[in-house]
Chains A and B, each alone.
Chain A
Amino acid sequence: MKYANYFILFLVVTTAFLFKDSLSLSTNLLSLFAPKEAVEKLDIATKLGYTRELLIAVKGFDKASQSKVKVIVTKLKNIDAIKQIQYKSSPSLEIQKYYKDNFLLLSEFDSSKQDERSVHQKLQELQANQMGGIFYTPIDKDDPLQLFTLKDIKTNMSARGEYITLGNYGYLINVKTEVSPSQMHEAKSLYKEIKEITTGYSDVIAFSGFFYTVENSTKIKEDVAFIAVLSVLILLFIYIVFLKNFTLLLHTLVALVSSTIFAILLTSLRFENFHIISLAFGMSITAVSIDYLFHYYFHGFYTQKKRIEKNVLYGFATTLSAFGVFSFIPVTLIAQISFFTLCSLSFSYLLFTFVFKGLELKSYEEDTHASQVKRGLSPLIILSLSLVLLAYSFVNIKLDKEIRNLDYDNKELRKIEKTFKDSMVNNLFPIIVQAKTNEELISRLHTLHSSQRNAFSLASFVMAQEGCEERKNRLLSYDFNELNTLVNAEAEKLAYKKNYFENAYRIKTESLSCNIPFLEMFKAYNLSVLEEEGKVYTIAFVENSKDALEYDFVSSLNVKDMFFKVSEQMYEDIARFSLFVIGVILFLLLLSTREKFFYGLSYILFPLSVTLAFLVSLYEINIMHIFAFIILIAIGIDYGIYMSNTQKLHRTIMAITYSLLSTFGAFGILVFSSITALHSIGLVISLGVASIYFLMKVMK
């Protein structure tokens, strides 16, 4: 029995070793919040190549900038993960051939009747321009009257000369990669190669969605490691200074490590996508379980005969109920953290209650000079003050529904992303359009274009079946032979060379085809088609995505929109679960404190109201703040129960003080994290711990 604690550690470490292959950690915070619909749409967008794009911009338009573009492109060509590089505006040979072959159908045709006068006038204009104009104007032998005009294609790219540009910023290199933001290993490797190329230039910027994955993941890992080390050091310091019992310290650390590993094992089995933040948070909350140990130790439980300490059991049961309820919440991060807490707290409670009893630990020797506790304020005053602060908070509360704000705030990369977005000449938003066939897809895209004037999609290049057939019939019914005769006759009168327009308007009717071309050729413009499960998808770019979403065949690709919707749902879920949990807590509190209910209630309401009032005065409240409030309530209730039912007040206060210090060491230091999700929790717990300590000192 003396070595049971070590044996248990050995068992959990061995089990963890056996399951090590199935233990993996995710660092993509947003993936935890992404709704199913968003995941599916982003998956389609990735397959369509949208999220695999990499942009590199070279500032300026001078010759030196052009040279830099060429050097960078040469280097990029050596990278395996790069599929395609575009830095010149000229369309591919395939697209050029498509336009040449389909010129007559793709052009606007002026089918008005031509007569001697109109033809003569146009040919005269051409003559004047060519023989007398200051600028050289070529004559189109095939269409001298310019009856066919090809509409300008409004692409999503701007250009200067032959180079594509990022608005007025400089030249742009558009790169298609094989890497999507979810492929961490490949993304890291490509990121490193790109940085090696661009680092040497101060005026070159690069951006891709996977840069966030790589940079944020590194920063989050560094941040979590820093927090973990700091936490361990602070906790060790507290335990060494206050417990002054090396054997107990060693056993406590062993118990905490066992509980953490046990919780990691169960949580990673229960959740596919176990996040590193859940782990960091879970480890902190495991350290809070030392609260049980302190209470047992200072009240001599380990040297007494009784098997159960009621106050600790009530505290544990209340905390367990709260996190048990939250482990079913449909908000993945909170469910993960709650489940982890449930496992680690239960395991550590069992260790501290039953295993530690057999460790033959020395009992705590009371300091004979312990001061008497003098306190003044009544629970009613505290409760009244709390209610006032709560009322103030509810009037002033503002919710932050932008889930992306919870992630690591990568200011530098956001600035670069903004430079790219702000410099784009066409501020178009991507959407997904779906249909059953390619014909229907093109037709739907044209419907979209009819309401969105500057839209850019496959419909910018390919005609809808109906429109094409109509134009074809118009061409077939026009008498081009008569026009040819007329043009040649008038040209002769104006001294054009004989037979110069011999081939004008010789339309090859057999070449007029309305079949949909090979759409893959438009990939360079980020336009392609995906066929999946009997449906075809493409990406279109529109000015107003809100209007476009009115069509039932359009879905949003705006991550902000998707997360906004999901965050509203999350707040509702949290509110629902919180109300239920608070109900359970109050019921358990009433059961365990009975006539001292209001006294115990103060330990919940006071820290909650002080912290909330402070936060609403300075910040918008995010979901992690709200979740931290639940933890604060769970911590507060333990202390409420201990303080309400204590027989030895001085020892209870001491146990709680050490617990609070321990809680701050574990949770409070999260306030130093640069990840908003962790910082928010740290801030709430730090303020809460301080107000509980204050309450303990001042309430009667």
Chain B
Amino acid sequence: MKFCILLVIFISSLFAQSYNFTETRYSDAFGQSIELKGVIRLEENALKINYESSNKEIVYKDSALVITEDAKVLDVPKLQAQNMGMFLQIILMLHSNDEDVLNEHFTMKQEENKTVLNPKGNLSQYIEKLTLVKHEEQLKEVKLFLNNADHITISIEDEIR
């Protein structure tokens, strides 16, 4: 039985998976939040994001970020690219569920129904902490608390098959 569960997890991580998600951004500057909906496709070392309200597509593969709009590659300012790259890399790390990688970048602790990750090294300059909520071994919510008091919540809704 244990073997079967492991096999299911292994197979699911090998193949690309697409999810509907809702991203809620809280801006401390205005004390307000905005909500965006989209689809995220996760692969072993790559991800692709499409937002409902935009034609832009974000592809992050092998640590390289490419943003396209109507098949045209957009020029992203370096600072913005660095920030986005960092967030997307974190999502990939979480998706990989690779304990070695996670331990390299975070200290982890369990608090009630969520896992709290405190970043080490460079990440700690921008991110205060992350919280993960899982339901039946599936990641349901990721919340990033930024050092500037903004926070971003990504709620994963359902897997698209």
Residues of A within 8 A of B (CB): 61-63, 70, 90, 96, 126-127, 130-132, 134-139, 141, 152, 160-163, 495-497, 500
Closest A-B pairs by Cβ, 7 of them:
A161-B63, A61-B62, A160-B63, A134-B54, A90-B122, A63-B45, A130-B27
Q: Is the CB of A63 within 8 A of B44?
A: yes
CB distance from B55 to the nearest CB of A (A): 9
CB distance from B119 to the nearest CB of A (A): 12
Q: Is the CB of B122 within 8 A of A136?
A: no
CB distance from B59 to the nearest CB of A (A): 14
10 chain-A/chain-B pairs, Cβ below 8 angstroms:
A96-B125, A127-B30, A134-B36, A134-B56, A135-B80, A136-B83, A136-B152, A160-B62, A160-B63, A497-B30
Q: Is the CB of B29 within 8 A of A139?
A: yes
List A contacts of B89 (CB < 8 A). Answer: 161-162
List B contacts of A132 (CB < 8 A). Answer: 34
List B contacts of A500 (CB < 8 A). Answer: 28-29
State whether the Cβ of B68 lies closer than 8 Å to any Cβ in chain A.
Answer: no
Q: Is the CB of A496 within 8 A of B62?
A: no
Q: Is the CB of B34 within 8 A of A131?
A: yes
Q: Is the CB of B148 within 8 A of A138?
A: yes
Q: Is the CB of A136 within 8 A of B25?
A: yes
List A contacts of B53 (CB < 8 A). Answer: 134
Q: Is the CB of B85 within 8 A of A138?
A: no
Contact of A152 among B30, B63, B78 (CB under 8 A): B78
Tell me whether chain A's interface is mostly helix, strand or loop, or mixed.
loop
CB distance from A490 to the nearest CB of B (A): 13
State whether the Cβ of B146 lies closer than 8 Å to any Cβ in chain A.
Answer: yes
CB distance from B147 to the nearest CB of A (A): 9
- Alpha-carbon separation in the docked complex, A412 to B87 (Å): 42
Q: Is the CB of B27 within 8 A of A131?
A: yes
User: A63-B96, A136-B152, A495-B30 given. 15 additional CB < 8 A pairs?
Assistant: A70-B100, A130-B30, A131-B27, A131-B32, A134-B36, A134-B51, A135-B84, A136-B25, A136-B150, A139-B29, A160-B63, A161-B85, A162-B63, A162-B89, A497-B29
List B contacts of A495 (CB < 8 A). Answer: 30
List A contacts of B80 (CB < 8 A). Answer: 135, 137
Contact of A90 among B64, B87, B121 (CB under 8 A): B121
List A contacts of B45 (CB < 8 A). Answer: 62-63
CB-nearest residue of chain A to B61:
A61
On whether A141 and B27 interact (CB within 8 A), knowing A90-B122, A136-B83, A160-B63, the answer reads no
- Alpha-carbon separation in the docked complex, A545 to B83 (Å): 37
- Alpha-carbon separation in the docked complex, A162 to B85 (Å): 10
Tell me whether chain B's interface is mostly helix, strand or loop, or mixed.
mixed
List A contacts of B34 (CB < 8 A). Answer: 131-132
List A contacts of B83 (CB < 8 A). Answer: 136-138
Contact of B29 among A96, A130, A134 (CB under 8 A): A130
- Alpha-carbon separation in the docked complex, A70 to B51 (Å): 35
- Alpha-carbon separation in the docked complex, A131 to B54 (Å): 15
Q: Is the CB of A497 within 8 A of B63?
A: no
- Alpha-carbon separation in the docked complex, A63 to B13 (Å): 13
- Alpha-carbon separation in the docked complex, A412 to B118 (Å): 47
CB-nearest residue of chain B to A64:
B45
In this complex, the member of B51, B62, B125, B150 whose beta carbon has the largest number of chain A beta carbons within 10 angstroms is: B62
CB-nearest residue of chain A to B121:
A90
CB distance from B56 to the nearest CB of A (A): 6
List B contacts of A62 (CB < 8 A). Answer: 44-45, 62
- Alpha-carbon separation in the docked complex, A63 to B89 (Å): 12
CB-nearest residue of chain A to B144:
A136
B 127-161 to A, binary, CB cutoff 8 A, 1 in contact else 0: 00000000000000000001010101000000000
CB-nearest residue of chain A to B84:
A135
B 19-30 to A, binary, CB cutoff 8 A, 1 in contact else 0: 000000101111
Which residues of B113-129 have CB atoms within 8 Å of chain A's CB atoms?
121-122, 125-126
List A contacts of B84 (CB < 8 A). Answer: 135-136
- Alpha-carbon separation in the docked complex, A496 to B36 (Å): 21
- Alpha-carbon separation in the docked complex, A127 to B29 (Å): 9
- Alpha-carbon separation in the docked complex, A132 to B36 (Å): 10
List B contacts of A70 (CB < 8 A). Answer: 100
Q: Is the CB of A131 within 8 A of B63?
A: no
- Alpha-carbon separation in the docked complex, A496 to B28 (Å): 9
CB distance from B142 to the nearest CB of A (A): 14
- Alpha-carbon separation in the docked complex, A131 to B44 (Å): 32
B 80-96 to A, binary, CB cutoff 8 A, 1 in contact else 0: 10011101010000001
In this complex, the member of A90, A136, A162 whose beta carbon has the largest number of chain B beta carbons within 10 angstroms is: A136
List A contacts of B125 (CB < 8 A). Answer: 96
CB distance from A489 to the nearest CB of B (A): 16
CB distance from A96 to the nearest CB of B (A): 8
CB distance from A425 to the nearest CB of B (A): 14
CB distance from B127 to the nearest CB of A (A): 11
List B contacts of A96 (CB < 8 A). Answer: 122, 125
On whether A131 and B51 interact (CB within 8 A), knowing A62-B62, A90-B121, A138-B83, the answer reads no
- Alpha-carbon separation in the docked complex, A139 to B56 (Å): 22
List B contacts of A162 (CB < 8 A). Answer: 63, 89, 122
- Alpha-carbon separation in the docked complex, A500 to B85 (Å): 27
CB-nearest residue of chain A to B51:
A134
CB-nearest residue of chain B to A123:
B29
CB-nearest residue of chain A to B104:
A70
CB-nearest residue of chain B to A150:
B79
